[in-house]
Amino acid sequence: MTTESPQRGSTGDRIEGPRSGNGSLGHEAGQYIERVTSTLSTDRPSRPAQARLPSLCAVCRGWGLQRICADCVERHAAPTARCSRCALEVAAGVVVCGACLRQPPPWRAARAAVGYGFPWDRLIAAFKFHDALDLAPAFAALIARTGHDRHGSAPPLLLPVPLSAERLRERGYNQAWELARRLAPLLGGIADAALLLRVRDTPHQLALPPERRAANVKGAFAVEPRRLAELRGRDVIVVDDVMTTGATTAEIAHVLLAAGAASVEIEVVARTPKPDDLATH
């Protein structure tokens, strides 16, 4: 795997396996940190692993080889039964929760690596708002543990939830893209930061009550009109850091399906609990 040194304003916006001939990766947006190339499949022989330097675990501060050590992953990210449609916690043996049976979401499946609580809430906030990009590979590995069922013959498209131009300038990077481009080789997919667009800036969802969030993001997303043919018939995985009410992902799923996507799935690091679950703690 080859990388360029991290810098703001680099032009890596599409991550996929090497192409033969004169195929171009193209579609440069010039708004993300660095380019990382990855393979489309996991059955190719891997290159010899590079020697890793010790690292302090972001949770327990102990020394190890990962940014989040294996002991902390086992302690704080144990597998949990979750609804396959909305990723909320459910009782063991339940596949789809009652709410999703009554009113299925527009996407086919949703998966979350952890619940939004200690220590993940603190780590995600640092990753999202305070440049802790060193956590991105660990978060991507956590998401990959939840699994992904390949449905079509073509590799899935991994699309990050896009930021508006204003928010991107403010933050300097899109945390969803930092996840998607690292998750793509783990799932055998193609990450693309320029296919799904945010065409309207909106207030932060967290600043709004749940009942107003769907209206807040209505009409905020669109598919790049010059690339509609690339989306038609493809399975899509939408990647983000946290899923709360699902209003943002629902709007994106509607847009992608209307543009011709065969299916949409959601992959996030963390899922917030239902409000009534919070009230009992």
CATH number at residue 97: 3.40.50.2020
Domain membership of residue 46 (yes or no) is: no
Of 124, 202, 192, the C-alpha closest to 165 is 202
Q: What are phi and psi of 206, to 5 degrees?
A: -65, -20
Residue 33 lies in a domain: no
Domain for residue 58, yes or no?
no
The three-class DSSP label of residue 221 is strand
Q: Is the predicted pLDDT of residue 25 greater than 80, yes or no?
A: no
Identify whether 62 is part of a domain. Answer: no
Which tens digit of pLDDT belongs to each residue from 66-101? 899 999 999 999 999 999 999 999 999 999 999 999
Q: Which residues contact 26 (CB under 8 A, 6 or more apart)?
A: 14
Distance CA 196, CA 240 (A): 13
Q: What are phi and psi of 229, to 5 degrees?
A: -65, -30
Q: Is residue 55 part of a domain?
A: no
pTM of the entire predicted model: 0.80
Mean pLDDT (the chain) is 82
Average pLDDT over residues 202-214: 71
pLDDT band at 132 (very low <50, low <70, confident <90, very high): very high
- Assigned domain for 16 exists: no
- In the block, tokens 């997303």 appear at 221
Of the given ranges (14-18, 149-153, 175-179, 246-250), which has the lowest mean pLDDT? 14-18
Kindly state whether residue 14 falls inside one of the protein's structural domains.
no
Distance of alpha carbon 217 from alpha carbon 251, whole angstroms: 7
Please enumerate, as own/partner, the contacts of 51-60 that have beta carbons within 8 Å and a separation of 24 or more.
58/119, 58/123, 58/132, 58/135, 58/138, 59/119, 59/123
11-15, 22-26, 87-91: segment of lowest average pLDDT: 22-26
Residue predicted with more confidence, 24 or 81:
81
Number of domains, the chain: 1
- Per residue, the 3-state secondary structure of 116-129, as one string, reads CCCCHHHHHHHHHH
Residues 6+ apart with CB under 8 A from 121: 270
Cα(228)–Cα(197) distance, rounded to whole angstroms? Answer: 12
State which residues form the domain around 116: 83-203+215-276
Give the three-class secondary structure for 196: strand
In a domain, 67, yes or no: no
